Amino acid sequence: MKIKHISFGLFLIVLVSCNQNTKSTNLELETYSDIKITGAMKNVMWKGELEGIINLDSITNQKGLYGIGPESYLTGEILINDGQAYVSEVLTDSTMKVEKNFDVSAPFFVYGNVTEWHKIDLPSGIKSIQDLEKFIDEKTIEYKRPFAFKLKGDVSKAIIHIQNLPKGTHVSSPEEAHKGQTNYNLKNEEVVIIGFFSTEHKGVFTHHDSFLHLHLITKDERKMGHLDMAEFNEMELYLPKK
């Protein structure tokens, strides 16, 4: 009788464990299936994992594709805007090169496909990235997270940067990772900003103090980089349809 009781007990434990694993797996798929995340910012910054672990030309579904991340070995910035990939690299402290190119890799990257958007006129009181983060967080309480979004419109000021790590640099801290980073000041530009929002991915694809990762490209496609600061004028915010 004891053996039967033990066997039945083990059966219940296994059954409960399987159900829990199934629920966990289903929840993960339901919550994150729209967004793909490869690598992690913290591994690049603290562990020096600079080599590319995703090639952009391996992303086959380019319809409505959006993505952002740095170029391998931190030699530039990458943006995918509606299926078109852009790579920016430093030429001088005041000039850059922006090319359309899918033949590039990244040490960490976040991307997803969005084909239907819900457009909102950004309220006039939303002037900074911090304002934007709070507004999006409040506006998307019922959204699946993380998600991609975009902004179109005018900025009166902005600062973008491009990573430009000297070849052979050893990286074991954010300070070392940002050696060679070049900042560019923009004024009165018409822009598109592609962003990804998450409250759960600090150090993965957002910095430790933000829920946002943003890349900006000017309308003429001559300037592109990671967005550090902005003063928004009239902007339209596009959120994925639920």
Query: Residue 30's pLDDT is what?
Result: 36
Query: Residue 90's pLDDT is what?
Result: 98
The closest of 156, 149, 29, 20 to 81, measured between CA atoms, is 149
Q: For 94-145, what is each residue's pLDDT tens digit?
A: 999 999 999 999 999 999 999 999 999 999 999 999 999 999 999 988 888 8
Query: Across residues 12-36, what is the average pLDDT?
Result: 44
- Has residue 156 got a pLDDT over 70? yes
Q: For 221-240, what is each residue's pLDDT tens digit?
A: 999 999 999 999 999 999 99
Give the model's confidence band at 69: pLDDT under 50 very low, under 70 low, under 90 confident, else very high. very high
pTM here is 0.84
Percent of the chain clearing pLDDT 70 (strictly above)? 86
Reading across the β-sheet that carries 109-113, which strands appear in turn? 35-38, 109-113, 65-70, 77-81, 84-90, 96-100
Least-confidence region, from 46-50, 75-79, 126-130: 46-50
Looking at domain 35-240, which of 3.30.1330.80, 3.40.50.1220, 3.30.70.2860, 3.90.180.10 is its CATH number? 3.30.1330.80
- Has residue 87 got a pLDDT over 70? yes
Q: For 165-205, what is each residue's pLDDT tens digit?
A: 999 898 899 889 889 999 999 999 999 999 999 877 776 77
More confident residue, 26 or 131: 131
**For strand 117-121 and strand 35-38, is the pairing parallel, antiparallel, or unpaired?**
unpaired
Residue where the block lists tokens 């966990």: 24
For the chain, what are the domain ranges?
A: 35-240
Query: Residue 88's pLDDT is what?
Result: 98
Least-confidence region, from 27-41, 55-69, 164-178: 27-41
